[in-house]
Amino acid sequence: MTSHRFSHTGPLKGTIRVPGDKSISHRALMFAGLAVGQSRITGLLEGEDVLATAAAMRQLGAQIERDPEGAWTVYGAGVGSLLEPKSALDMGNSGTSTRLLMGLVASHAITATFTGDASLSGRPMKRVIDPLSMMGASIEASAGGTLPLMLRGASPAVPITYHLPVASAQVKSAVLLAGLNTPGITRVIEPVPTRDHTERMLTGFGARLEVGEENGTRIIAIRGEADLRPMDVTVPGDPSSAAFFMVAATLVPGSDLTILNVGLNPTRAGLLAVLRQMGADIAEVNPREVGGEPVADLRVRHAPLSGVDVDPALAPSMIDEFPVLFVAAALASGTTRTTGLEELRVKESDRLATMASALQLAGTRVEEHEDGLTIHGTGGEPLTGTREGTSVATRLDHRIAMSMAVAGLVSRTGVSVDDTAPINTSFPTFMGMLDEAAG
């Protein structure tokens, strides 16, 4: 374990470029790996999770190479032509890789075993197993519906209309990907809109996809036996990674930081809306569209924040950003209340319990509820920080580690984090970038 103490720094200044979006990086590799011909991907996030997707796609028959400049070339295997992997697909810590690849394999006549690390092996897979089984795949999971599991794909699979019981872009994407090689039309009905990178990018690769609305719900229909054509993908900067710097520059007095090329897909931009509601000064500079995704540079200046009641309807569009929002709330004037966040209990860690105890250790007044946290802010006064000899437990969760790093910047004595190694799953350059911005 690599522990580290994060402490008070000067203002965050200058210009930074965060790594490529994780969700889009996963999908770019998978969809290029299914297209017939050569695709080129630039700006790919080269964290452990995305590299697990690349390794799995190679085992399924795609040729994937990285050039010295950091561009990736993919020669796809073609929908319907995936190879049976010779060994288990090791998903590491990546829930996205696991759930999406299970969907991919489910409609091909191959068998694959999925394994993962201790944290991933505790995460629920039943939500994907259920619809994929309805389509004809046969899945033998460990007790409790977790990894390791073995999946035998069905060919031909059966198209289904699936009502998502829980708002999850990963479950939606798994069903749509299984639908790619299923005769007929596969439909997913979403009660609440979730991130739509799969729909945008599949359309770009040539899948026939229709999105409609009925009685206030979204219905996504995909026509199977698809032929995907290759395309070049420029991956926008990850809004979930930008989130840590948006909050840090907002909280540290004197900061004026520009974060380049941040993806602002409306299904991901909940944090931006909530921070602005709290009083943050974040301007969108040079808004543009890249590969079907809205992008802008974000100029963030220090601003005092006020506590708010966060609308639970925003939760799906900022589900990964709540840990760092809790840090912003800890420095705001007044009280911030969050509800409807049961989903945070089954992330890389139980993020409600883990953040509640981490912030309490750092000197915040927090109440934990079944579905959210109530945080009483300091009104801009620095947090006391963690006592010498005590450190925050990150529970193998990269977002807890980075959120508490931000808390350390606005504390009197600093915040010790028990393990910074998990940060490599999503943001390997985080520590260096933080030092540089606070220069």
Distance, CA of 353 to CA of 368 (rounded, Å): 7
Give 161's strand partners: 187
Is 138 part of any known ligand binding site? Answer: no
Is 27 part of any known ligand binding site? Answer: yes
Which of 222, 247, 266 is at the close of a domain?
A: 222
Distance, CA of 305 to CA of 376 (rounded, Å): 12
The total of structural domains in the chain comes to: 2
pLDDT the model gives residue 334: 98
Residues 179 and 259 in one domain: no
Q: Is 5 helix (H, G, I), strand (E, B) or coil?
A: strand
Cis peptide bond N-terminal to 312, omega within 30: no
Distance, CA of 356 to CA of 362 (rounded, Å): 10
Q: 335 lies in which domain range?
A: 4-20+237-437
Question: What does residue 279 show for φ and ψ, rounded to 5 degrees?
Answer: 115, 10
Cis peptide bond N-terminal to 148, omega within 30: yes
Instruction: Read off the CATH number of the domain in which 330 is found.
Output: 3.65.10.10
Listed as ranges, residues in the chain with pLDDT below 70 are none
Classify residue 161: in a domain, yes or no. yes
Classify residue 106: in a domain, yes or no. yes
pLDDT digits (tens, 9 = 90+) for 408-430: 999 999 999 999 999 988 899 99
Q: 320, 397, 418, 419: which is the annotated catalytic residue?
A: 320
Residue environment code for 35-60, b if the CB has 16+ CB neighbours within 10 A, otherwise e: beeebbbebbbebbbbbbbbbbbbbb
Active-site annotation holds for 419: no
Query: How many other C-beta atoms are found inside a 10 Å radius of the C-beta of residue 412?
Result: 12
pLDDT the model gives residue 192: 86
DSSP secondary structure, 186-232, as one string: EEEEESS----HHHHHHHHTT--EEEEEETTEEEEEEESS-------
Supply 373's token pair: 């946290």
pLDDT the model gives residue 120: 94
Classify residue 229: in a domain, yes or no. no
Residues 78 and 10 in one domain: no
pLDDT the model gives residue 375: 98
Is 86 part of any known ligand binding site? Answer: no
Is 123 part of any known ligand binding site? Answer: yes
The sheet that has 72-75: what strands, in order across it? 63-66, 72-75, 38-42, 233-234
Q: Which residues contact 337 (CB under 8 A, 6 or more apart)?
A: 307, 309, 310, 372, 374, 375
Query: How many other C-beta atoms are found inside a 10 Å radius of the C-beta of residue 146?
Result: 17
Query: How many other C-beta atoms are found inside a 10 Å radius of the C-beta of residue 123?
Result: 18
Is 22 part of any known ligand binding site? Answer: yes
Sign of CA dihedral 403, 404, 408, 410: positive
Residues 289 and 151 in one domain: no
Residues 16 and 36 in one domain: no
Classify residue 172: in a domain, yes or no. yes
Residues 198 and 312 in one domain: no
Is 168 part of any known ligand binding site? Answer: yes
Residues 98 and 195 in one domain: yes
Distance, first Cα to last Cα, the chain? 26
Classify residue 103: in a domain, yes or no. yes
Is 347 part of any known ligand binding site? Answer: yes
Classify residue 232: in a domain, yes or no. no
Query: How many other C-beta atoms are found inside a 10 Å radius of the C-beta of residue 80?
Result: 16
Is 399 part of any known ligand binding site? Answer: yes
Classify residue 231: in a domain, yes or no. no
Look up tokens 């198209």; give the residue.
159
Residues 200 and 247 in one domain: no
DSSP secondary structure, 88-111, as one string: -EE-TT-HHHHHHHHHHHHTSS-E
Closest listed residue to residue 280, CA positions, set 339, 322, 331, 239: 331
pLDDT digits (tens, 9 = 90+) for 7-32: 998 999 999 999 999 999 999 999 99
Distance, CA of 315 to CA of 317 (rounded, Å): 5
Look up tokens 């802010």; give the residue.
377
Beta-strand relationship, 335-338 and 309-310:
parallel
Closest listed residue to residue 271, CA positions, set 307, 324, 308: 324
Is 320 part of any known ligand binding site? Answer: yes
Residues 157 and 262 in one domain: no
Residues 301 and 421 in one domain: yes
pLDDT the model gives residue 316: 87
pLDDT the model gives residue 253: 97
Which of 175, 191, 222 is at the close of a domain?
A: 222
Distances (CA, A) of 332 to 97, 309, 363, 376, 397: 36, 12, 14, 8, 25
Residues 358 and 326 in one domain: yes
Residues 53 and 183 in one domain: yes
Supply 73's token pair: 């070339």
Classify residue 227: in a domain, yes or no. no
Residues 307 and 379 in one domain: yes
Which of 222, 257, 274 is at the close of a domain?
A: 222
Residue 380: exposed, middle, or buried by beta-carbon count in 10 A (0-12, 13-18, 19+)? Answer: middle
pLDDT digits (tens, 9 = 90+) for 201-236: 999 999 999 999 988 899 999 999 999 999 999 999
pLDDT the model gives residue 333: 98
Closest listed residue to residue 79, CA positions, set 155, 170, 168: 155
